Structures are given as C-alpha cells and as structure tokens.
Amino acid sequence: MNKAVILAGGQGKRMKAPIPKPMFKVLGEPMLEWVLGACEQAGLQKICVVTGYEAEQINTYLGDRCETAYQAERKGTGHAVMQTLPFLNDDADGNTLVLCGDAPFIDSETIQKSLERHIAEQNAVTVITAKVPDPSGYGRILRTDSGIAGIVEDKDASETQKQINEINSGCYWFRTLDLIDLLDQIDCNNAQHEYYLTDTVAIALKTKRRAGAFCSKNPDVVLGANDRKGLLALNTAARMAVLNQHMANGVGFTCTDGIIIERGVQIGAGTEILPGTILRGKTVIGENCVIGPNCVIENCEIGDQVTLNTVQAYTSKIDSGVTIGPFVHIRPDSHICSGAHIGDFVEIKNSEIGTGTMIAHLAYLGDSDIGKDVNIGCGCVTVNFDGIKKSRCEIGDYAFVGCNNNLIAPVSLGKYSYTAAGATITTDVPDYALAIDRGTLHIKEGYTLRKFAENKEAADTKK
C-alpha cells in the first residue's frame, strides 16, 4: 500500500505565536490542511502526521482523520520519520511519501506523477524537485545520466554547483522497506547533532540502490515560511493563483485590492468582485452578480444577478435577483428569497425573507418567517428573546409593517395586515386588519417656559 508521512512537529519560533508552524493559515486554511488535501486527492488513504510542538492543537484539528506519531525531541527530519516506524512496519509493502506540513503548495498531480516515475525507475528513493529562478539557500540536485548523484546544501556547494537551479522540495518517495532500512543507517554526526532525512539519498547510493528525482511542473512546491514575512508571501502567492483561476473562468476584477477568495469558493461567469471583499469557506456565487465593495461572505449560497454592497453574510442562502446593502448583517440560517431588497443598517438572523419583500433600512428581524411582497418600515424590531427562550414571528404575504414597530414574539401578522407607526404588537393581527397602538398623550402647556425660568433662577442663585 502507498502511504504518506507528513512532518508537522515544528514550532516556528520566528512566527512569535504559540502555534505549531503547520497550523498557520494560508487563505484561511492551515498549511497542514493544504498538504493533507493534496495527499487525499492523490489517493493516499493511509497518512501519519508527526507532531511535536503543541501537539494537542494538531491532534484536536485532525480528530480521527489520520494517524499521528509524536516526536518528543526535535532532532531533525530523519528523527521525525523514525517516530513513524510502527506505521511504516504495519504493511511495509508499497511506497511511502514523506513531505513537510509547512510547505502548502504540493499538489496531487505532482504526487501522482512522481510516484509513477518512482515505480517505473524502481528507485529506492525519489526526490521531488523544482526549478526556480533563484535557488539561493536551497539544496541543489546533482544529476547523473541514470538518476541523481546526491543533494548538496547551498553552503557546501561549489561555484559551479551554485549555478544549478533544480532544488530539493523536501518531499521524497521511498520504497517503504528501503525507508525502514535507511532510517536505521543514518546518524547524527554533524554540527547540529541531528538526523537528516537527506542523508538517506547518499546512503541509498552508497549501498548500490537507485536514487532518482522528479522535477515538478509546479515551482511553488518548494515554498515554505519561516517567519511572518514568509507567511505573507505564501498568502500572496495563493491569493493571486486563486484570483487568476477565477479570471480564467470569466469572473471580473477591476481592482484586486483587499480581495481574498479562499480556494473552496465557486463563482459564476460574469460576476464582478469589488475591492475589500472576502469570500470564505464553501461559498457558491452565481452568474452576473456584483459582490462588494467591502463584503464578507462565508459559507453562503448566492444565486444569479445578486448585488451585495458592504454586506457580511454567514451560512445563509440568497436567491437570484436580490439586492442587499450597504451595511447589512446576514446571520446564519437565513434565507433571502428572490427579488427581495434589504437596505442600509439591517440585521437578519435565522429568518426567511419572502420573494419581493422590502426592508429598506434600520431594522432587526430575528427568528422570523416573512411572506412575499411585505414592506418592513424603518426601525422595525422583532423582539424574539424574553430572557429565557427565543420565539418566532410570522408576517403574512403583502403585510405592511409601520415604522418603529416592536413585534413581541411569538406573534403573527396576517396577510394584507397593516400596523401603524410606533406600534408594539403583542397579540396576533388577523388578515386584512389594521393594528394601532396609541397610548394616552398628555400635553403640558407652558412646560418649557417654566423649565427655562427655573433654570435661570437656579443659575442666578449660584452667582
């Protein structure tokens, strides 16, 4: 069986945060998730993640998704792989991919193609490489006619070797039985007193085993991050790759400033994304929409020809032909039906807004079921929480809710019903009825004259 070992025990001290380095995020996902996803897409079903620093964070994230091995002391990459020997020995037939949990841009095609080469050439070890414009700081690949002669580190390379632009990605395919044997032969006789996985290549060649290299078409497979600047570079590379893919699919961007689109987002052709917009999770957006500026959309399903201006929406559905914004908050489990209009400073929570319904401005609608072609006046609030439990409001088709209304849930307004401005509705309103709530108005004539006079006398007394 073919399987994978992912090295994820690093601390990343220069990140200056108590988080394992592979858990730092690129486009909203931990770097480890990118690597895991590539392995899974390549069909590798048995995966072992080597943890170390703050291991519990990674264990919690993984759950029972794959196996883990703990590296109590960080003594190099070879030492990390040694911790997986029980995993390797359990079905040692086949091949094992070893890769870094903080190099997020490994891709499934590279994994599959390199495995094919590894098997075809009957290699004990196959190094995944890439050619880059500037190889400074990376280990160079020394090739021969029949494979590779080894890997030379940048600091040890001759001037001629430094001209080589094919570099080591840190990913390797091994025949599993060979990997077990090679791990037993590496030592820590070096300045750092660490066990280096790269030493397995030299040992394989020394023991008359074949070592090869597969050069990926994706030069980004070598990219990692050692500090916040490097992490920013990863995010920038990933962000632009996603934007370029959407542009190729017919999505428009007049300017990409502040636009972040996570890789799980789907967008239809003809849609325009405006600056400052962040699209997260499994959001799906239809065709010919205008999203932005300054929107945050997470795990939402959005239909065609939708306009969202300065909207934050989470785990909700917005049907075709809806216009929303500016300054609108759509909280989870809401459904905005086709043709509805929601204007400025409106909050919707766990509610259905019917077809063609208008909520022009300054309203809160929570835990509500609102029919079609309803008009919600300025300042309307559904009072859905009594301090103990939440209750729902129902508003029938074609109802007209006046300005500054409080709907005290649970309450129902019938179809074609009207409520007068300033009303507090505590009982159900039948179909076609008008609900008026007018308290007794008391007028005290001359009040302000007396008040001003009292204030003047008080001021004169102080003098």
User: pLDDT tens-digit profile of 189-210?
Assistant: 888 889 999 999 999 999 999 9
Q: Are residues 113 and 261 in the same domain?
A: no
Q: Could you give the CA distance from residue 220 to residue 238 in angstroms, rounded to a whole number? A: 10
Q: Are residues 13 and 69 in the same domain?
A: yes
Q: Are residues 237 and 194 in the same domain?
A: no
Q: Are residues 128 and 255 in the same domain?
A: no
Q: Could you give the CA distance from residue 35 to residue 147 in angstroms, rounded to a whole number? A: 27
Which tokens in the block code for residue 224?
Answer: 């990692």
Q: Could you give the CA distance from residue 214 to residue 436 in angstroms, rounded to a whole number? A: 78
For 11-39, letters b (16+ CB in 10 Å) and e give: ebeebeeebbbbbbbbbbbbbbbbbbbbb
Q: Are residues 374 and 260 in the same domain?
A: yes
pLDDT at 458: 66
* Residue 20 domain-assigned (yes or no): yes
Angle between helices 199-206 and 176-185 (to 10 degrees): 100
Which tokens in the block code for residue 445?
Answer: 């004539």
7 phi/psi in degrees, rounded to 5: -85, 115
Among candidates 227, 226, 318, 300, which has minimal Cα distance to 262?
Answer: 300
For 313-345, letters b (16+ CB in 10 Å) and e give: bbbbbbbbbbbbbebbbbbeebbbbbbbbbbee
**CATH code of residue 158:** 3.90.550.10
Q: Are residues 272 and 396 in the same domain?
A: yes
Helices of type H across 94-169: 108-120
- HSE-up of 254 (CA within 13 Å, CB side)? 8
pLDDT at 361: 96
Beta bridge partners of 267: 285
Among candidates 390, 440, 462, 24, which has minimal Cα distance to 227?
Answer: 24
Furthest C-alpha separation in the chain = 109
Q: How many domains does the chain have?
A: 2
DSSP string across 248-275: HTT-B-S--TT-EE-TT-EE-TT-EE-T
Q: Are residues 213 and 359 in the same domain?
A: no
Q: Could you give the CA distance from residue 73 to residue 169 in angstroms, rounded to a whole number? A: 24
DSSP string across 30-97: EHHHHHHHHHHHTT--EEEEEE-TTHHHHHHHHTTSSEEEE-SS---HHHHHHTTHHHHHTT-SSEEE
* Residue 455 domain-assigned (yes or no): no
* Residue 119 domain-assigned (yes or no): yes
**pTM of the predicted model, to two decimals?**
0.90
Domain end position, chosen among 222, 248, 281: 222
* Residue 449 domain-assigned (yes or no): no
Domain end position, chosen among 198, 222, 246: 222
Q: Are residues 336 and 246 in the same domain?
A: yes
- Decide if 236 contacts 220 (C-beta within 8 A): no
* Residue 456 domain-assigned (yes or no): no
Q: Are residues 113 and 198 in the same domain?
A: yes
Task: Kindly name the residue from 79, 246, 329, 361 that is annotated as catalytic.
Answer: 361
Q: Are residues 271 and 200 in the same domain?
A: no
Which tokens in the block code for residue 134?
Answer: 């500037």
Q: How many residues does the chain have?
A: 463
Which tokens in the block code for residue 84?
Answer: 């997986």
Domain span holding position 284: 228-435
Q: What is the CA radius of gyration of the chain?
A: 32
Sign of the C-alpha dihedral computed for residues 245, 250, 251 and 253 taken in this order? positive
Q: Are residues 258 and 154 in the same domain?
A: no
Sign of the C-alpha dihedral computed for residues 180, 186, 187 and 190 taken in this order? negative
* Residue 350 domain-assigned (yes or no): yes
Q: Are residues 193 and 340 in the same domain?
A: no
pLDDT tens over the chain, length 463 residues: 999 999 999 998 999 999 999 999 999 999 999 999 999 999 999 999 999 999 999 999 999 999 999 999 999 999 999 999 999 999 999 999 999 999 999 999 999 999 999 999 999 999 999 999 999 888 899 998 878 998 988 888 899 999 999 999 999 999 999 999 999 999 998 888 899 999 999 999 999 999 999 999 999 999 999 999 999 999 999 999 999 999 999 999 999 999 999 999 999 999 999 999 999 999 999 999 999 999 999 999 999 999 999 999 999 999 999 999 999 999 999 999 999 999 999 999 999 999 999 999 999 999 999 999 999 999 999 999 999 999 999 999 999 999 999 999 999 999 999 999 999 999 999 999 999 998 877 878 888 888 888 877 666 666 5
**CATH code of residue 246:** 2.160.10.10
- Which residues in 132-239 belong to E strands, given as ranges? 140-144, 147-152, 166-175, 211-215
* Residue 266 domain-assigned (yes or no): yes
What is the SS3 assignment for 103? coil
184, amino acid identity: D
DSSP string across 309-344: SSEEEES-EE-TT-EE-SSEEE-SS-EE-TT-EEEE
pLDDT tens, 346-376?
A: 999 999 999 999 999 999 999 999 999 999 9
* Residue 331 domain-assigned (yes or no): yes
Q: Could you give the CA distance from residue 264 to residue 80 in angstroms, rounded to a whole number? A: 31
Domain end position, chosen among 162, 195, 222: 222
361 is catalytic: yes
- Decide if 291 contacts 285 (C-beta within 8 A): yes
